Amino acid sequence: MQTYYDILGVAPDATPEEIRTAYRTLAKQCHPDINPDPDASERFIAIQQAYETLIDPDRWARYDLALRTGAGSAPHDPFQRYSPGGQTAWTPGFSWQGQVPTSGIGRIGVILLLLFGGILIVLMLVLSLLIRAVTGGRRQDS
């Protein structure tokens, strides 16, 4: 699996100027308007994503943290980048499989909560109808 450092061909301790220079060189080579290779567009998108992540200090720090913790090469939203054809440019290594956060109440608790909420709504409707029946449906003038 390629990291953003591999894609741009820079070291993890590269300076922003080295990252910028590597990006410009690769962008000129792989731009879809210049390079007739069918894979040039996907490669160009990967180069763009790598550059935009590594040039921003906050995103770079989050990316390095994700690499160190084993989160893979894509710690950001996979829908963030789109190709010109309108299809999503999927980041290598991305997976929809992840640990779902657990809640304290569980499925039974959610079902009981929904049931209790539904019962309360029905009771309020019945009470409203009873009050209207008792008062004759008339408004009281102040």
The pLDDT tens digits along the chain (142 residues) read 789 999 999 999 999 999 999 999 999 998 888 888 888 888 899 999 999 999 998 999 889 888 888 765 444 444 444 444 444 445 555 555 555 556 677 788 889 999 999 999 999 999 999 998 888 876 666 5
Q: Is residue 81 part of a domain?
A: no
User: Per the domain annotation, does 78 fall within a domain?
Assistant: no
**Same-domain pairing of 8 and 65:** yes
Predicted local confidence at residue 81, as pLDDT: 47
Residues 60, 15, single domain; the answer is: yes
User: Given this model, what pLDDT does residue 120 score?
Assistant: 97
Same domain, 61 and 20: yes
**97 lies in a domain?**
no
Integer Cα distance of 24 and 121 in angstroms: 62
The answer to whether residue 139 sits within a structural domain is: yes
**Is the residue at 92 inside a domain?**
no
Q: Are residues 59 and 106 in the same domain?
A: no
Mean pLDDT computed over every residue of the chain: 80
Residues 10 and 53 in one domain: yes
Q: Which domain holds residue 140?
A: 102-142
pTM: predicted TM-score of the whole model, two decimal places: 0.49
Q: Break the chain down into helix, strand, coil percent, rounded to 5.
A: 55, 0, 45
Does 10 share its domain with 58?
Answer: yes
pLDDT of residue 73: 45
Asked, for residue 89, whether it belongs to a domain, the answer is no
Compute the C-alpha angle 4/52/49, nearest 5°. Answer: 55
Residue 4's pLDDT is what?
A: 92
Domain count, the chain: 2
